[in-house]
Amino acid sequence: MGKRQRRRERTSRNPKQQSAIPPTPQQPQHNDSITYEVDRVPVLRVEFRDGISPDNRTTCSRYWAVDSAGAWKEHTTAIGAGRDAQAMTHFLNRHSTAFLLTEPCVECKKPLVARNRAAVIKLAGNKFARHRRATTWHTCPSCEENAKGQASREVQNAVNDFFAQQQVGAQAAPKTLITLPVFEDDAFEPEGSVFAADGDAAIRTTKNLVVAAALALYASSARSTYVPALTTIASTDGAPWGGRGAWGDLSTNGYLGWFGTTNDDLEALSALHRAGFISPHRSTPGQAFYLDNGRLSIPVDLAVWQLTLSLDDSLMLIDSDLRLLGNAMVSYCDRSLDHPLHYVLVELEAKTVIAYINHLLVNRYLYPQVPHVRLSELTALVERALHEYEYTRGQLVAFAWRAVDTVAAWKERNHLDPRQASSAVVTTLANKIEAARSKQQHIPEYDLPSWHIDPPALEAAHRMAALLWPKRYPTNETSAHGRQ
């Protein structure tokens, strides 16, 4: 037996003793590729998929072909064989990959991938001229996904730290939700058009207090200390807020929330959060949070809120602030009608009456809503009837029903356009109110239909008014709080 045979036998008995040099890892080589140069500088490399047919390879080569000046050799209309731009891009990405050799990713330094010629011009400039690029840096899709994942992890860590700190250290309990200096130095003037001055400090503070009461009442009815996100309370696309199309332009973002208008809800929730009355609840979706210059933030309408106090303490705080608000306004309000809470009540009741009118037009008569150009006129008319003429909401519902019915009959008799009928509702309603006042007619009170549900802030405002003026605003809402 020779030495070679004995060596083979030893190796077969103990293969671990075999000394083998580990192979050097090789980068995958694409033999089937084409590189194009501009001014002797490689600018574009096209790699073809394995198993590509000769015809498809020819089509891809013709599409990506670049001359020495950086211009495309052929027009796409001569290559696409009847394909549109989207179909041609799908064909190219299925059979080839184009790498921009002069445009590396700013993160991983690998060449960027271009899906079509438009992407080449966007990333590398026309004729691969670097000074003609739309932007000066780019990131490949894989690095973008990694960056998004890293940002998501940072936000999630910040959210976890926020709720951990919120659970360990109790937030300082708020002592008041109103700022009394806003009522000093004649800051509140009941004369004139108060409804047009929505930014008045007294009205704004009262709205915040009414929304706080609505939050507490909701939490009390749900036997919990958290309230749902603003975008999940109700939608204008369906019940219960007046039915489909009832609220119209009153809600700008498709939901109505607590007060009936998006801006009032956002301002009130922001103010209550700053005052420490509410804070984000742990059930808030994690994707709603984001980092703003390293500070954890969340859109007001996406947050699920919780009361920082217990239910009893929250209601006691609102009650004390309400009485404090009433005492502060005594020198400015000779009557309850001049109190900012009454103006808030009038605004809320006017919203429900307008929603009722829109519902009749859209769902019963199949007309469009009251035109946007006349919505402010209708709002002023209804608010004036509630405030100056002291009609009740039930009486305004009766006026609204008669006005819409009259307009519908007038439209059918004269074969008019439905849009004319919707616009004529405002004029007809004004005429009926003035005729009733001049003749001193007794106007009955109509109840709103069963499908109509008021915004939560209206019930809260009625309860608050009953605490200040129990005779004028009895707790039983069916009783008239105005003159017939």
* One domain, residues 267 and 374: no
* 279, 305 contact by CB (below 8 A): yes
> For residue 194, is it within any domain?
yes
In eight-state DSSP terms, residue 237 is T
* One domain, residues 131 and 169: no
Q: How far is residue 195's CA from residue 376's CA, in Å, rounded to a whole number?
A: 11
pTM above 0.75, yes or no: no
pLDDT single digits (tens) 174-189: 554 544 333 333 333 3
Q: To 10 degrees, what angle do helices 393-414 and 418-439 make?
A: 130
Element housing 376 (H / E):
helix 372-387
Closest to 43 (Cα-Cα) out of 140, 123, 115, 107: 123
Domain that holds residue 455: 336-468
Rg of the chain over all Cα atoms, to the nearest angstrom: 36
pLDDT single digits (tens) 233-249: 654 333 333 333 344 43
Per-residue pLDDT at 420 = 94
* 96, 49 contact by CB (below 8 A): yes
Beta bridge partners of 35: 45
* One domain, residues 355 and 318: no
Q: Last residue of some domain: 94, 114, 139?
A: 139
Per-residue pLDDT at 144 = 80
Per-residue pLDDT at 136 = 55
Count other Cβ atoms within 10 Å, centred on residue 227: 24
* One domain, residues 262 and 390: no
Per-residue pLDDT at 381 = 97
Residues of the chain with pLDDT under 50: 17-30, 131-132, 168, 176, 178-199, 235-255, 331-334, 477-484
Per-residue pLDDT at 391 = 94
With the CA atoms of 49, 55, 57 and 58 taken in that order, what torsion angle do they form, in degrees rounded to the nearest 10? -170
First to last CA, the chain: 127
- What is the count of structural domains for the chain? 3
* One domain, residues 424 and 459: yes
* One domain, residues 273 and 407: no
> For residue 4, is it within any domain?
no
